[in-house]
Structure 1
Amino acid sequence: MSTMLSLALMMTADVPPSPAPQAQESLPHMIKTEWSAAPPMPQGMQDNDGGIIDDYLVLVGGFCHGKDDNRKPGMYPRGFLKKAWALNLKNEAAGWIQLPHFPGAARQEMNGISVHNKIYLWGGFSYSEPYCYKNGYRLERTGGEWSWHPLPDMPYPGSAGSVAVIGSKIFLVGGMDYDAQRYYVSTDRTGEVKRFGARLSVFDTAAESKGWKTLKPCPGTPRMMSAMAASDGQLYLMGGYAVDDKGGAHNVVDSWRYDPSTDTWHRLRDLPVSVSGFSSGMLLYQNRYILLVTGYPHPTIMNPDGSIRPRYGTPSRIDRSQWPGETGFNGSLLYENHVWVYDTHTDLYGTATYLPFDDHGQTMYILGDTMYLFPGETGGFYWEHEYFGHAAEFVLRGKVKALDWQR
């Protein structure tokens, strides 16, 4: 019996049905965003993580494939990163400053977030052994000095999980393992940890020495690269990216709410369009709206029982004919520019102003009415006649406003 079939038999009786997805053409426009450029990063990169300390927005690690370095020499050097940078949000004109390097191996797609003016980072992956990591470090700033401190390991190596905070507690859902050949989400690379991408763990920053505690796993599809946010003491897990036992990639559309007070999961409405690869970071606006930015439209969806079905919905992509030249990938990649919104008050999806470029797997931080978005993988794009590459140094700033869509 295959791994996927055995997992499906385990799951079938435990997963409630979803309310029918909303028709894409009827989605209300919930959020308006005015886009501008924030100070660019010192180099191009993707899949970094970080958070907020004092007035500083911090990014750590990541990867750059180097394919666009001939167009901007020195801007897109190939390799994994352990660099860390910070932008003073009260003095953006001063640009990014370099911080002490991440103490662990260079890596991308760590599991990280800020809690009480400190940043916590674990895991990630690279192309060198052990390929996927479980160690972590805390970044803090005291008396104007930045310093790193080791943390208890995660229970298992992992990368590209979903992270959110309630009080002093960091919740981590899903993610993937990696062995230099492929991603593992339905199990870990050994096959011993079943439903790897559905696991839920919690780390209390007020009691670090106690380490991680395992909670009830999500009953839905095991996943990586999901969106997750916390609102009113509840966790919301939206969509993601699944990998079957042969390495095939699929969209995830089932979404869930977790109540920590009862250790229970509740199924929400499925996504209105099947895509995968949402943002990491701080995704909640006005303690109500979760912004779900772009994605990649794999041709199929993996259901919670492990079965596969065709994708649905119509993705949105930028009109590249408006740009003054070719992009690095000639528009061949299927990245998208849509921005969906999930309203935690009504269990309904809507739309927000779309991005000015196609993107996938970006990092995003919403601070008050301002959004900072760091492109993940783009097809290459232009902003005010300047070219930005596949792993762009560009930083997109958005002024966000909720609309009276229920009127």
Structure 2
Amino acid sequence: MTDLTRRAALALAAAAGPVTWAAASTTTAGAATGAGGGATWRRLPDVPANTTDWHDAIPVGEPYWTQLGLAGPLAGAHGDHLIVAGGANFPETALTATRANTLGKVYWTDAFVYSRRTGGWQAAGQLPDAVGYAATVSTGDGVLVIGGEGYRGGPGGTLQRPAEKFADVYYLRWDARGGRLVRIDLPPLPRPMSYAVAGIVDDVVYVAEGGDFVALGLDHPDRGWTTLPRWPGDPRTVAVGAAQDGRFFLLSGRAQHADKSWTFYRDAYAYSPRRRSWERIADLPWCVTAGLAHPTGRTGLVVVGGDKDIDRWNLIEHHVALRAAAPPGSPEWHRQNDIVTWIYDHHTGFNGELLRYDTRRDRWTTDGWFPGPPPATTPAVNWDGDLVVASGEVGPGIRTPRVWQAEF
């Protein structure tokens, strides 16, 4: 076991002892408001502000400093506690993903725990590494964390040095009595992965990313990872995955090709461990790239958020390519950068509709709307059957600190 709260040099909150944030109010949105279709939504307290004051360009501790929101946080439930840690954002004042800044995308180490009993957040120290975009699955043994990317040893920004991909696999547990996070390592992935998706069927975790599909028996992790046949479709990343009805589902995703063009996928697949084979299921009605999926009942799968606007994505990529072709700092470079910034600033958000899949009828239907800004790049947290959506991205470079809980 590794005590994750001992990085005191980086943890301002840990030095001051546990701190609790509680909600000033709770918002409920459900079928009665037309927001959630078959779900009843409840807003939990926002994720607290990051506490690690590691660079002068970040206004940590200023009166106006608050949680900007985190893309790709490690998020999951362990018992009566919700864990949210790591993740990435653009924290510099008035500077965004397309405006010149010092740090670029920042990856954090701060960890927070929300208690279902108290209804408040508590600082939980620091992760040993700054990490985001890992696959996470909530289990009775802790939050299973798979891969991700970021920086070893502390926070970092992509304009300082490139982020590193990780092959780490471990459980994160909340020791309520000791008030600390505990990490229990498992065998690492066959290769480093970020933006992977995972699901557990019969004590085996299945992981898909790029063109790889691998599995680890959680009852005998010492036996290591097994490489399995890939789904009968193209390699992809930023897909959506979940386990339901004895199968692992892989949905949507995107891929960039050798000629720099992109494909956004609507195809979907189900892997049956018992049959040891893939089956193509009904195509999604639209792309859900970077969205999330949550099992409901015995045969339902709800998909939330993600991006379906291919035209907007292609427009951004077109002007990014024109910017890259222009001499840095030239009038044409600035013109193309202004266009990209304008498109980002006027982004209308991700998929607001909820999709529901029936595993027995092989059919997709719409089932209401997400009650807030639709999310992308955040895990689906299964908390005793409820779906929790913690933070995430709501536009290019834009995050939200909001946390939503849905009962189906």
For the aligned pair, the TM-score class normalised by the smaller chain equals 0.5 to 0.7
Distance 2:355 2:37 in 1: 9
Matched, 1:396 2:404: yes
Matched, 1:135 2:146: no
> What is the total number of aligned residue pairs between the two structures?
306
Look up the match of 1:106.
130
Look up the match of 2:377.
361
Identity among equivalent pairs (%):
20
SS of residue matched to 1:378: strand
Q: Which amino acid aligns with 1:161?
A: A
Q: Is the contact between residue 116 and residue 168 of structure 1 (CA under 8 Å) also seen in structure 2?
A: no
Residues 249 and 213 (structure 1), Cα distance of their counterparts in 2 relative to 1, 3 Å cut: same
Runs of at least 5 residues in structure 2 that lack an aligned partner in the other structure:
1-34, 49-66, 97-103, 151-157, 312-341
Distance 2:186 2:288 in 1: 34
Instruction: Tell me by how many angstroms 1:133 deviates.
Output: 1.4
Residues 298 and 242 (structure 1), Cα distance of their counterparts in 2 relative to 1, 3 Å cut: farther
Distance 1:89 1:298 in 2: 36
Q: Which amino acid aligns with 1:106?
A: A
How is 1:346-385 mapped onto 2 (pairs within 5 angstroms)? 346-355=361-370, 356-368=372-384, 370-379=386-395
Q: CA RMSD in A?
A: 2.9
Distance 1:258 1:361 in 2: 23
Distance 2:225 2:183 in 1: 19
Q: Which amino acid aligns with 1:288?
A: T
Look up the match of 1:123.
147
How is 1:145-294 mapped onto 2 (pairs within 5 angstroms)? 145=178, 146-174=181-209, 197-279=210-292, 283-294=294-305
Q: Is the contact between residue 68 and residue 328 of structure 1 (CA under 8 Å) also seen in structure 2?
A: no
Instruction: Tell me by how many angstroms 1:114 deviates.
Output: 2.6
Q: Is the contact between residue 349 and residue 394 of structure 2 (CA under 8 Å) also seen in structure 1?
A: no
Look up the match of 2:106.
79
Q: Deviations over 1:166-210 (max 9, x none)?
A: 132111011xxxxxxxxxxxxxxxxxxxxxx13111112222222
Runs of at least 5 residues in structure 1 that lack an aligned partner in the other structure:
1-28, 72-76, 175-196, 301-326, 381-388, 401-407
Matched, 1:90 2:117: yes
SS of residue matched to 1:209: helix
Matched, 1:32 2:38: yes
Instruction: Tell me by how many angstroms 1:255 deviates.
Output: 0.6
Distance 2:95 2:43 in 1: 23
Instruction: Tell me by how many angstroms 1:33 deviates.
Output: 2.7
Q: Is the contact between residue 138 and residue 382 of structure 2 (CA under 8 Å) also seen in structure 1?
A: no
Residues 342 and 112 (structure 1), Cα distance of their counterparts in 2 relative to 1, 3 Å cut: same
Q: Is the contact between residue 339 and residue 353 of structure 1 (CA under 8 Å) also seen in structure 2?
A: yes
